[in-house]
Chain A
């Protein structure tokens, strides 16, 4: 980084010479209007809104594609001089704005972007008060580009942010600008629907109301919404989101900036899931009497649970935690089970073989998401990051675009939006160093998918990967390349808490066959089929697979309705916040457990989330250990690499069959169902 002296609006500043002028001005706090410029996209320079005066230049210059180091010093060697508020600059900006508004409809009162529209705001600040354009405005036909993005193309100002996003970040060139001049139109090829799992981001990118959210169409105004900062739980990445709610309803979900995790993107599942939060909800307790579920009061339901618990021997009571449980819930559940005297609890409903025996480094994404940008080789093993974590995949693509990245894939062949060297679909190929061919890479990421470790031979495969990584030097003191890509938001926290059975107790796999347990608690576990036999108590939010099997239903809350903590796949602890209250008589999940513990006269020792958290962090320091340097991870991983076992000669299938249908909320969502139909039609 090298600093250059500039004279900006008669004042001297030191700015980073590697930046463009618009970035440098933003750094020192001068706001320049812009539409096409976006930090995360390539520079187009076609909106002309960011014009400024460069002293000595014959005409105004677009500051977005003018580099600081391209500015020339004055005649006597004085620093380059630019003016952002001079008459020349102002006139240029006003002129650009007038041209943009010439063809922009005046339909702000019926536009969903109204209130959060870049064009509105900048027209107020940098525009003129009237137009000299008295001819007819142009009109453009709307395009049908799928169930998620609504288009009102007459409003389009041709900034091409959406085109650049789909080409560069999403990696699926779907959008383009056809025609020229006045007839330019943004469209997909013959109005085919968009395919990308990140397409919702074009809604945020669009500076006007041309691309808006279809499900959110005419639902609310931005200033009526209560904004709650939270975390997405649709995949293991833990993207930062903002939940916008109105009254008791979640109206929409949009991303929050976090350069360490999701930058400013979120997947479509994270963004459009919210209609699933309102339907199929469990809003009161139920008890199954002769096949049919009957509504009952809380006290009745809890009494029934206690009755069952008293009838059952502790070692025949079990609990399975689901993919969207918070750390607090799992901790409370574990405490409760400990008090009862049972250790049949498991958070790995996909029968994953990851365990706490080999240290934290054996089950997290060690290089971190930011670390992807340092890597020079990636071996993807039995995973399709594009559907398991689309935003993480976009990060890999971003790294690939900068060059010198070798990607190899062992597993199911798929379109990852970047090219890779395909090795084959057999776990035995992992040890074939020649084929993988990353000998000259120093920082390799061994990306192991959740589907691999849930195989029967998951542990031997993982051990093989670690062994190979150790041998190739990609697990060393300064780089730990072992990366588990979790698809369940709760998984890392579950392992950190120790929500896994010990050697003598039952795992999820043993519990689901229905023989070894008599009473089974399902803490939001919906991806597992429980056989006939045990009495099932389902604590969760949606009427889905778990509730279908349940004998007693205790209604819990969704991730938008409670406070709690999640640990993402890289081991980073993040908090979710309550945006709305759970419907009907549903409760916070941990308070249900507290209620049960009080009734059995073995109360849990906390009274609110604060005291619960305090205890949890004291008992499970692992939760907080992100960014702490572990000296012993090498030892742990060496131990893991010495695990021997036979690797089956089976294809490595990916557990997620349908990106849009991975959890109970998504399965309740009509929008997700539409997307799923759209996708299956195309295949």
Chain B
């Protein structure tokens, strides 16, 4: 990780839309009165969604006013969690998992694709369509290597399938979420070799059932 600072170059203004304000108030209502600050992460997330995927200074200011908190307290949270972006991101923000299992299964080759198609880590294409960062484990190691694009996981990737995803994103085609090896979630990639039906039978027979002796 690098030191994260807010991008101060854009001077946008931020106010919650009516819909987002309502959902933010719903989050606040989950906590006892006077403890509205506890809703900070959920509300920052709503703000980030509204603000094209990143938190600007005006968004942080607005959230701090909204929650009656000191601005520095909001900034502490926003800089602590890598899920909050502090500089503009593309319409499709790609988070590449680079932690050990993904790396061993070929995350490096995905990184090469990103470097070629978008640029160095953290960069944003000129048309503001694509941006990417490398993140720590996203918890889908069974389907390594994988990336997260906006809210969804794209798994079991390789150079070819990943290149196609990026090509589709660029041409505005819809892309399929989940495994790119045709797996359903994280089921075995080949036929199962353990816990086959007859094995399960055997285990069932051996198992001492509680209360029956």
Residues of A within 8 A of B (CB): 173-183, 185, 187-190
Q: How far is the CB of B81 from chain A (nearest CB, A)?
A: 8
The residue that B70 contacts in the complex, of A173, A181, A182, A183, with Cβ under 8 A, is: A173
The residue on B at minimum CB distance from A181 is B1
Q: How far is the CB of A682 from chain B (nearest CB, A)?
A: 14
- For B71, list chain A residues within 8 Å (CB): 189
9 contacts between A and B (CB under 8 A): A174-B72, A176-B73, A177-B76, A179-B79, A180-B79, A185-B3, A187-B72, A189-B70, A189-B71
The residue on B at minimum CB distance from A141 is B3
- For B73, list chain A residues within 8 Å (CB): 173, 176
- For B70, list chain A residues within 8 Å (CB): 173-174, 176, 189
The residue on A at minimum CB distance from B8 is A190
- For B2, list chain A residues within 8 Å (CB): 183
- For B1, list chain A residues within 8 Å (CB): 180-183
- For B4, list chain A residues within 8 Å (CB): 178-179, 183
Q: Once bound together, how far apart are the Cα atoms of A188 and B72, in whole Å? A: 7
Q: How far is the CB of B180 from chain A (nearest CB, A)?
A: 33
- For A183, list chain B residues within 8 Å (CB): 1-4
Q: Once bound together, how far apart are the Cα atoms of A275 and B102, in whole Å? A: 61
The residue that B75 contacts in the complex, of A176, A180, A181, A182, with Cβ under 8 A, is: A176
- For A175, list chain B residues within 8 Å (CB): 72
Q: Once bound together, how far apart are the Cα atoms of A179 and B81, in whole Å? A: 8
- For B6, list chain A residues within 8 Å (CB): 190
Q: Once bound together, how far apart are the Cα atoms of A293 and B72, in whole Å? A: 53
- Main SS of chain A's interface residues? mixed
B72 near A176: Cβ-Cβ < 8 Å: yes
B72 near A180: Cβ-Cβ < 8 Å: no
Residues of B within 8 A of A (CB): 1-4, 6, 8, 57, 70-73, 75-76, 79-80
Q: Once bound together, how far apart are the Cα atoms of A181 and B4, in whole Å? A: 12
In the complex, given contacts A180-B1, A190-B8, what are 19 additional A-B residue pairs having Cβ atoms less than 8 angstroms apart?
A: A173-B70, A173-B73, A174-B72, A175-B72, A176-B70, A176-B72, A176-B73, A176-B75, A176-B76, A178-B79, A178-B80, A179-B79, A185-B3, A187-B72, A188-B72, A189-B71, A189-B75, A190-B6, A190-B75
Q: Once bound together, how far apart are the Cα atoms of A173 and B76, in whole Å? A: 12
- For A173, list chain B residues within 8 Å (CB): 70, 72-73
Q: How far is the CB of B96 from chain A (nearest CB, A)?
A: 20
Q: How far is the CB of B84 from chain A (nearest CB, A)?
A: 12
Q: How far is the CB of A181 from chain B (nearest CB, A)?
A: 7
- For A181, list chain B residues within 8 Å (CB): 1
Q: How far is the CB of A419 from chain B (nearest CB, A)?
A: 11
A189 near B72: Cβ-Cβ < 8 Å: yes
Q: How far is the CB of A527 from chain B (nearest CB, A)?
A: 36
- For A188, list chain B residues within 8 Å (CB): 72
- For A179, list chain B residues within 8 Å (CB): 3-4, 79-80
Known: A183-B3, A185-B3. A178 touches B76 (CB 8 A): yes
B3 near A190: Cβ-Cβ < 8 Å: no
Q: Once bound together, how far apart are the Cα atoms of A327 and B80, in whole Å? A: 55
The residue on A at minimum CB distance from B60 is A189
The residue that B57 contacts in the complex, of A177, A187, A190, with Cβ under 8 A, is: A190
- For A190, list chain B residues within 8 Å (CB): 6, 8, 57, 75
Q: Once bound together, how far apart are the Cα atoms of A610 and B1, in whole Å? A: 67
Most buried by B among A177, A179, A185: A179
Q: How far is the CB of A239 from chain B (nearest CB, A)?
A: 27
Most buried by B among A182, A185, A189, A190: A189
Q: Once bound together, how far apart are the Cα atoms of A190 and B1, in whole Å? A: 20
Q: Once bound together, how far apart are the Cα atoms of A173 and B3, in whole Å? A: 22
- For A180, list chain B residues within 8 Å (CB): 1, 79-80
Most buried by B among A178, A183, A187, A190: A178
Q: How far is the CB of A192 from chain B (nearest CB, A)?
A: 9
